Structure formats: C-alpha cells, structure tokens
Amino acid sequence: MDIIYTDEAGNDVGILQRAYFDCAFGSGENNFELTLDAESNIRISKGARVYIEDTEYGGVVDSYAYDSAAGTYKYSGRSVHGLLASKIIRPPAGTDYLVVNNEVHAALRDIVRQCGLDGLIKVADTVSSFTAKYQFDRFVDAYTGIVKMLKAQNARPKFEWVDGKTISLEAVQITSHPALDTDVVDHNFKHIHNPVSHLVCLGKGELKDRTVIDLYADAKGNVSKTQSIFGVDEVEEKYDYNGAEAEELEKEGIKKLKELQNASSVDINLKSDASYGVGDIITSYDIKTATEVSAQVTKKIVTCAGDDVSIEYAVGGTAQSTSLSGSVSASSGGGITYTAGEGIKISNATITADVTQTKLDAVKNDVDAANTSLSNITAELPQMKIDITKAQATAGAANTTAAEALEAAKKAGSVDVAALVATQEYDSKNGIRARRVGKFVAGTINGFKANLTSSWASQVIGTLPEGMRPTFNIETSCTTANTNANVAVEIRTDGVMTAWNVGGTSLGNQNIYANFAYTTE
C-alpha cells in the first residue's frame, strides 16, 4: 500500500517510501501517527493529508514532534472518523433534539455540511435504500451520531479516500459474516441467563414525593409495565435519573432496560488477513457446546511498516447467543460422515489410513523429544547476548534439529507424513528469514533497522504467515551495534514480530540481530 502525503491544500506531493504508519478508528480512538526518519528530508505541513488511496486509512495532520536522539519526526492527527468525532451535533434553535426524517444520504449531507466538512467529505449523490427517522442524542459528536443513526437502519458508514481533496462517504448494509468455527477463530463467551428484568426508575422529587416508575422485561427481552418474571428469576436494578419528569424518565428507562438485556459478552480474535468493516457482525460457533455467538467489530487498527501491513480488529461487547439445533454425533443425516480406523485422526471430513497405533506411538516419542529440545532452546533465548555469526549458527542448528526429528518421524511411518514433510519459507527482504519444517520453525533477524526512540519504544518489524506462527507469545533477546542496548523481539500468536527497547534510554536507529526457534503446535 502506498502512503501518500499532500500539501495544506490537499494536493498530492509524493509517496512515503520509508515510514511507519499507524491508524486506528472505531470505538475509543480515531487518529493516526506517522513516523519518518529525519534523514529523509521530507517535511509534512500542518493541515496536510496522509492517506492510502481507495481505503479509509488516513487523516489530517494536526501536530508533529521531533526526537533528536532517535532522529525521527512523528506526525499525528485525526482520521476521517476523528474529523467527524471532533464536531458536535447541536439541536436546532428552539428545539430539544435534532430529528431527521429523510433518505439517509440526504441526511448525511446535511450533517456533514453543518459540521463544515463538506469541502472534504463528499456524500454519495445516489439515493440509498435506507430512510432514517431518527432523533439524535443532545450534543453528541458527529461520528457517534452518524454511526448510531445508521445502525438503527442496519447500516454503517463507509469512507474511502479518493484523493487528497476528497473522501467519499456512503451508507452500506451491515454485513453479517457466516459463522466461523472455533478452529478458525478463538473466542471468549459469557452468557447471562438472567439479565435485569425489573428496572426501578427514579426521577424528580425527594423522598416520598420522588417520581418512581417500574419497568419490566420478559423472557424475550420485550419491555413493558407488566411483570412476567418473578421470584428467584427476577433481577432488579435501580436507575437514578434525578430531576427527570415522568415522560422523560419512562422513555430513558425503557432505553436503559433494553440495553441491560444485552448482558452477554464475547471477545473474538480474528485472523489479520480477513476483511471486515467497523459495525459488521461476526458470528462464531462452538460445536462442543452447541452455541453460536455474535458480536460487532468495534475497532480497526492498521499498521504499515515498509512493505508489511498488519490489520487488527477489536470485536466484543454485548453479544447474542443461540443454541444450535439438533445433536452432535459421529454421523448425522445430511451432514459429514466420519469414518474411524485404527490410529486415525478425524477432522472435518472422511479420513482413512492403514497405520497402526504402535507406529503412531513411536512417532509421538520422537516428536516429543524434538519438542523438548526446542522448548529448551526457547527458554534460553531471553538470556542470550550473541553476535551475528553465533545467531546464524544457532538458527542453523535449530533447522538441523527439526530436520532430524522429521527424518525420525518419517521412518516411524506416521499417518501425518504429509504434514511432517511440509516446508515453508519466509523472507521479509529486510533482514528477517525463517523456515518451517513440519511443525518446527527456526529463523534469524539479520540487521533489521529498528527505530527505538525511547524506553519501551516498539516497532513492528514483520508478520510471519499462517503456518509459521507460535502457539503462545515468545520473546528473544537481540544484539545491536550498541553494546549497551537492551533490545528484545516478541513474536505473537498472530505472527506479528515487534522489536522493543527494554532499556532505560533512547536507542534511535539500531540494526538488530537475533535467532529464534519454536514449534507451531
């Protein structure tokens, strides 16, 4: 992806070749940061745009900082989402709320114009399939207001940088992505069987003169003034809206009790190579518990370091759950038929093989021994302080260990020979190389130039592809040209490799060297 920068008027100036770009948008933060080497002689003006064409990644420069020790310039600012978040929607004069009853694109044009952003953000001139009849919260920021208005129509905003002077905006349908097996994504799910069913709403007045309204939710989450859940199943909660008249108290109480029905929560760890929009619905199912859970994408974080692009998603908050119909068994009508034989591992399809348990046990012993050897290597890595030659030699030894384990497993006649003989190479072209043999990975970091500006500063230096990622986060120490430098590299389960300055001083630009070895299972 080319990172383009402009002048103050939005005219494209050039493409940033050596830059570290981080852009986050959605819940909690809507901003970006760009780090440049001061030696590049590129200077970006206040109010200039930094963006990636045909994406929503980018923003307007609001500030910069220079670090002489690190030799870097850092430019930061608001993303397009942050531009809207920095504007307040006010009720029209003489009214309590802004209310729209219009085709969504026409409503969006009015809001963008009121925010004074219509010179940059261009709402699609097409007629959408959504009609908004919506009352905005009082003095809400424009981004939050727009997201909530569109969500009420099962839609979300889609932004796209056309050029430095134009960002397109349109309303698109929220996508509910097909259910993903927990073998594909990891999730943590908490289901609340008995959410709050009785809300005691307190308004204006004091003591016995206080306005009190009782609201009830039924088993399906419908809210009314009629109680249907009693005894041990009833959960009561107080809602204090001091000073509210009865009409306002009831209206806000209904809204609060509906929110409390969504008490279940889910956190889903998505693959970084997937593509989702903020607001999309992600569904995951667990065949073991016969449970299906859904939640929205709440934030997107995009990081560009050289040619490496990493996209992270935050998915969580309130969730809906559904029990899958039917039962789980080895064979079911219309489903997958599972055929088992001696020593067979069954996974999502019919698999057969002529391999005895004795042979499998022999393979397991060999592989366990190799795992133990590699675990010992991994445990020693944080204490290593080695030069380039030793790092490369140790990585070569790790490759040899993996190759020897492979040969032993092949001789044992494993049913998983296809997996064991599989190899994979990774070369970042900037000093990071790795090789996988079966489930064993070994590699080197040979002179990657990291910009570590301060204590605990970090930089993403690469992302290992699927198939080469560890099952738990690991850390290895590094050597640099600065013998006093204390640098470590973390390799996460999503493959992201991050260099950390774990010392107490600024290191600036450092060429780092290290080796690593681990298993993928």
The average pLDDT across 377-391 equals 44
> Do the domains spanning 87-173 and 440-519 agree at the CATH topology level?
no
Top-ranked range on mean pLDDT: pick from 17-21, 25-29, 249-253, 511-515: 249-253
Q: Map out the domains of the chain as residue ranges.
A: 3-83, 87-173, 176-297+318-327, 440-519
The average pLDDT across 223-237 equals 95
> Is residue 44 packed enough to be buried (19+ CB in 10 Å), middle (13-18) or exposed (0-12)?
buried
Which residue did the predictor score with more confidence, 403 or 389? 403
Q: pLDDT for 461-488, tens place per residue?
A: 888 888 889 988 888 878 776 655 688 8
Tell which residue, 153, 137, 144, 143, has the closest CA to residue 98. Answer: 137
Q: Which two tokens stand for residue 6?
A: 């402009």
Q: What is the pTM of this model?
A: 0.56
Q: pLDDT for 404-450, tens place per residue?
A: 545 554 554 444 444 444 678 888 777 888 988 888 899 998 888 88
* Fold designation for 87-173: Phage tail protein beta-alpha-beta fold (3.55.50)
Which residue did the predictor score with more confidence, 10 or 453? 10
The size of the chain, in residues, is 521
pLDDT the model gives residue 58 = 97
104-114 and 142-151 helices, crossing angle to 10°: 170
Contact 477, 381 (CB under 8 A): yes
Query: Looking at the predicted structure, is the pLDDT value of residue 259 above 90?
Result: no
pLDDT the model gives residue 273 = 57
Query: Looking at the predicted structure, is the pLDDT value of residue 395 above 60?
Result: no
The average pLDDT across 236-258 equals 94
Q: pLDDT for 132-173, tens place per residue?
A: 999 999 999 999 999 999 999 999 999 999 999 999 999 999
User: What's domain 440-519's superfamily in CATH?
Assistant: Phage tail base-plate Siphoviridae RBP, head domain (2.60.40.1830)
How many Cβ atoms are within 10 Å of 21's Cβ, its own excluded? 23
For residue 372, name the pLDDT band (cuts at 50, 70, 90): low
Query: Looking at the predicted structure, is the pLDDT value of residue 316 above 90?
Result: no
pLDDT the model gives residue 234 = 95
Which residue did the predictor score with more confidence, 272 or 302? 302
Q: Which two tokens stand for residue 39?
A: 């030696």
Q: Residue 39: helix, strand or coil by DSSP?
A: helix
Residue 258 CB partners (closer than 8 Å, separation 6+): 217, 221, 223
pLDDT the model gives residue 353 = 40
Query: Looking at the predicted structure, is the pLDDT value of residue 342 above 50?
Result: no
> Is residue 119 packed enough to be buried (19+ CB in 10 Å), middle (13-18) or exposed (0-12)?
exposed
Name beta bridge partners: 75. 34, 64
User: DSSP secondary structure string, 161-226?
Assistant: EEETTEEEEEEEEPPBPPPEETTTSEEEEE--SS---EEEEE-SS-GGGS-EEEEEE-TT--EESS
pLDDT the model gives residue 330 = 30
Q: pLDDT for 68-123, tens place per residue?
A: 888 899 999 999 999 999 999 999 999 999 999 999 999 999 999 999 999 999 99
Contact 447, 511 (CB under 8 A): yes
Cα angle 403, 404, 406; round to 5: 65
DSSP state of 344: P
